[in-house]
Amino acid sequence: MVLNPQFSCRLCWLYSCGLVPYQQAWEWQKSLVRDRLSHPEAPETLLLLEHPPVYTLGQGATLEHLKFDPDTAPYELHRTERGGEVTYHCPGQIVGYPILNLKLFQPDLHWYLRQLEEVTIQTLEVYGLRGDRIPGLTGVWVEGYKVAAIGIKVSRWVTMHGFALNVRPDLDGFKQIVPCGIADRPVGRMADWIPDIDPAKVRQTLATTFARVFGLELMRAPHELELLLPH
């Protein structure tokens, strides 16, 4: 599922940020969305990063999928404006936050979710892994193990939040939740099949694949993200 060529060659600023606290990345996203809503024709943006251990809940997520008291959570716990249930982020998991104006692509949330799945499927293919979709569910699985989770928020067709690909994270944190509210499907990581997988190389592959799927030209961002935040 690749974007129609008529939409190709739009510019996309790429921020490759390393390990970033969740709250900081969240503020970056909100600032970028505000700016994009004010400038609909501006370049697209993709943030690729990793987070210290953190749990996040979707806007309507139930606390029943937590296996701990939220008042004494083992790591930070945030309720966000994205869709979906609870998930876990930690080092070794590559997170992508696209800030896109879907009016310039296809203003269709189901289409957008399938495109994000396609980014991870094509990335897995580069490493010899077959990524599968499961009808009725969002995300990507390898041999029945969920390796990519997706949760988005769209405001006036401008996107935030995005996808998370498990490259070589410590999966223990997932044992404290029902990941994405799906109790009968285990979580996996690329390292389960490729023990020496390099997250830095996967990050590069993700960026290249994202640009290809969405028909974008990636460019290094012209300024630091910290400059986007109000003082």
Catalytic residues: 180
Q: Half-sphere exposure (CA, 13 Å, Cβ side) for 48?
A: 23
The long-range contacts involving 68-71, CB below 8 angstroms and separated by at least 24 positions, are: 68/176
- Beta partners for 217? 11
- Where are the alpha helices (H) located in 56-171, listed in sequence order? 109-126
CA–CA dist 158, 156 (Å, integer): 6
* Length of the chain measured in residues: 231
Contacts of 210 (CB under 8 A, 6+ apart): 46, 96, 98, 119, 216, 218
